[in-house]
Structure 1
Amino acid sequence: MKMNLKNAVIAIVAPLPTLFFYVSFLGYCGDHDCHNSNDTSIWNWCYHHPLLLANILFFLNVNLLFWFIGLLQSSHWLIDVYWTVIPVLLVHYYATHPLAMFKYNPWRSRAVIMMTWVWGIRLSHNYFRREKWLWGAREDWRFTDMRRQYAQNWWWVSFFSIYLSQQVFLIGVCMPMYVIHSVDKPWDFWDFVAVVVCITGIVVAYHADTQLHNFVTENCKLKELGKPVVPNLDKGLWRYSRHPNYFGEQLWWWGLGIFGWNLGCAWTFVGSFINSMCLAYVTVLVERRMLEQDYRAEAYRVYQETTSAWIPWFKSSPKGGKDKNT
């Protein structure tokens, strides 16, 4: 209980340096003309370089401070919690920066801010539901595997593999948020398309994660009763996709990319593409892990043969026979 409370306090306090600095910057710009080229203060520099400032704050507060906390605790759990929070902080940062250009058409900004909050709440809820509502009970299993792999070098490898890489990834995948608040253009048809794609992604991911949570919970109950567990989830959305939660997550980021493309910045799709490539790699790791578990290996091989990896689709026949589930 004490550890849980301590980690909750750490999670709440961890971003305060950035929040305090940014509020001070906004206060200064409210009282002074930051656009004045004769102003040589750090606040004037922050005014003219919003994207670079976001990266510097991320590097100092997340990369260095979170990494240091992870070293002290021998667990890099904090970045998992903030994976769902940082995009929310970024969209508000871009929206409130004095150079934001959406004053004449605020609907796109409002829509993206609202959807980002819904996305963040959904993902945070899924994280804490999976962790039994505990703060920092464990770190991501991939980090634990890398910790064993790099052994005594993990203390410095973790900085690059967990934190610096996360900066490139998170700032990159959130670039449509920057563009949305840097280009002022009337709302049009493609904005509706982007909203539909984003909301569909959130809904699909929520239902997929809920079905997975219920499956894991039921298996835990069966195990406690000494009964055989179900080797594989192939009901609901999982009947048509082996990773519908990843598919929903991709839709969310590709939907944001449509906003950027519609504002004349097609390069923002790079973040969505990198996200898809990362999820492809994670898919390989997850499925390899499934096949290493003896009680489910055979069933999962059949599942791989008959079920689409990401995009939901009808089942196909397994090699050497007909699909009994169709």
Structure 2
Amino acid sequence: MGKTKSNHSNLKNAIIAFLAPLPSIFFYMYFLNHYSDSEHSLSSLWSWCYQHPFLLANVFFFFNINVMFWAIGHLQSSHWMIDPYWTVIPLLLAYYYAIHPIATYNMWRSRIVIMLTFLWSLRLSHNYFRRENWQWGAREDWRFTDMRQQYGKNWWWVSFFAIYFAQQIFLMGLTLPYYTIHTVEAPWSIWDIVAIAVCLAGIVVAYYADTQLHEFSTKNAELKASGKPILPTLEDGLWKYSRHPNYFGEQLWWWGLGIFAWSLGQGWIFVGAFVNTLCLAYVTALVEERMLKQPFRAEAYRQYQKTTSVWIPWFKSSSLEETKDKTN
């Protein structure tokens, strides 16, 4: 009975997730099919959509993501849907800017960036659903759950700004390189090669880090199920050299994307990657605080903190060996 209910809920959430972006998609398709190449013959609405692709994207985000997802989240008492969409919104935006009538760009740069974004999105989506046991909406982000308890009866309106409006500002700023890439036509340069290398490195590092973390979690679940002690910390693979190699890989991706925009004369767009780094620094602090609150791994994690780099992979320090020598 419980399994049937779970399957029903999973199917329902999957359908909701697939239907949710349709208002924006249908409106945009209607615009593409009905706008006129002659700017003077456009109606005031179509003229605005034609002249302001970035603002139009923000309108879509505000009404279709902020308002609709927020309402669905309250109806379901779970703001889970923003997480799987975080992995596809950048891909949708890249394609949106590429097919906008006012777009002008280097075809190969555009195609390569969209292909890279597809790989990034596929990796992140795969990791999300693997972590969630291939379920749609099984749970919301633990940070949202903590905030729900913190704000209590005010959560219904705080959630709109804390989860959705804040993420609109964050995501639209972070994806500005896509807008630049599709509004500046410039020849291929060596910096495009550098950007591709950094983006690919970020995807590969994040994939292996997430896979190693998933294997560690799976092994601990098996140990717990068999009544054996679980492993307190993951210190193998990439995690031997960095406490958060998955975050490091994610930062490489966004900084690499920023290099594309920088090479087109829009270096200020690095502000998006910089803000993302600051946010990941905050998330890192939250995650490590959570680790230290778990009695079975607190001491081991403190030692891990002393010997292992936070983000950038590096060789372990000698702190652990010194500790062992003092103990002996």
In percent, how many aligned pairs have the same letter? 65
Give the residue type in structure 1 aligned to 2:234. Answer: L
Q: Which one of the candidate residues 65, 75, 85 is aligned to 1:82?
A: 85
Q: Flag the 1:211–1:323 CA change in 2: closer, same or farther, 3 A.
A: farther
Give the residue type in structure 2 aligned to 1:192. Answer: I
CA contact (8 A) 1:291 1:300 kept: yes
Q: Tell me the matched-pair count.
A: 319
- Structure 2 distance, partners of 1:45, 1:284, is 43
**Residue 322 (structure 1) shift:** 5.3
**Residue 189 (structure 1) shift:** 0.2
* Partner of residue 282, structure 2: 281
Q: Flag the 1:229–1:218 CA change in 2: closer, same or farther, 3 A.
A: same
* Partner of residue 9, structure 1: 15
- Structure 2 distance, partners of 1:285, 1:155, is 23
TM-score (normalised: structure 2): 0.96
- Structure 1 distance, partners of 2:194, 2:39, is 40
- Structure 1 distance, partners of 2:202, 2:320, is 32
- Structure 1 distance, partners of 2:254, 2:204, is 13
1:13-92 matches, within 5 Å, as 13-29=19-35, 32-33=36-37, 35-92=38-95
Cα distance per residue 1:137-192 (max 9 Å; x no partner): 00000000000000000000000000000000000000000000000000110000
* Partner of residue 267, structure 1: 268
1:1-326 matches, within 5 Å, as 1-29=7-35, 32-33=36-37, 35-102=38-105, 105-318=106-319, 321=322
- 5+ unaligned residues in a row in structure 2: which ranges? 1-6
Give the residue type in structure 2 aligned to 1:15. Answer: P
**Residue 37 (structure 1) shift:** 3.0
- Structure 2 distance, partners of 1:281, 1:37, is 49
- Structure 1 distance, partners of 2:209, 2:220, is 17
- Structure 2 distance, partners of 1:11, 1:67, is 13
- Structure 1 distance, partners of 2:41, 2:22, is 30
- Structure 2 distance, partners of 1:27, 1:41, is 16
Matched residue of 1:182: which SS? coil
Cα distance per residue 1:54-83 (max 9 Å; x no partner): 001100000000000001000000000100
- Structure 2 distance, partners of 1:5, 1:41, is 41
Q: After the TM superposition, which parts of structure 1 deviate over 3 Å for at least 4 consecutive aligned residues? A: none
- Structure 2 distance, partners of 1:52, 1:157, is 24
- RMSD between aligned residues: 1.1
Per mean C-alpha deviation after superposition, the further-off stretch among 231-240 and 38-47 is: 38-47
CA contact (8 A) 1:246 1:310 kept: yes
Matched residue of 2:39: which SS? coil
Give the residue type in structure 2 aligned to 1:197. Answer: V
- 5+ unaligned residues in a row in structure 1: which ranges? none
Give the residue type in structure 2 aligned to 1:101. Answer: T
* Partner of residue 3, structure 2: none
- Structure 1 distance, partners of 2:320, 2:229, is 27
Matched residue of 1:321: which SS? helix
**Residue 319 (structure 1) shift:** 6.9
- Structure 2 distance, partners of 1:240, 1:181, is 38
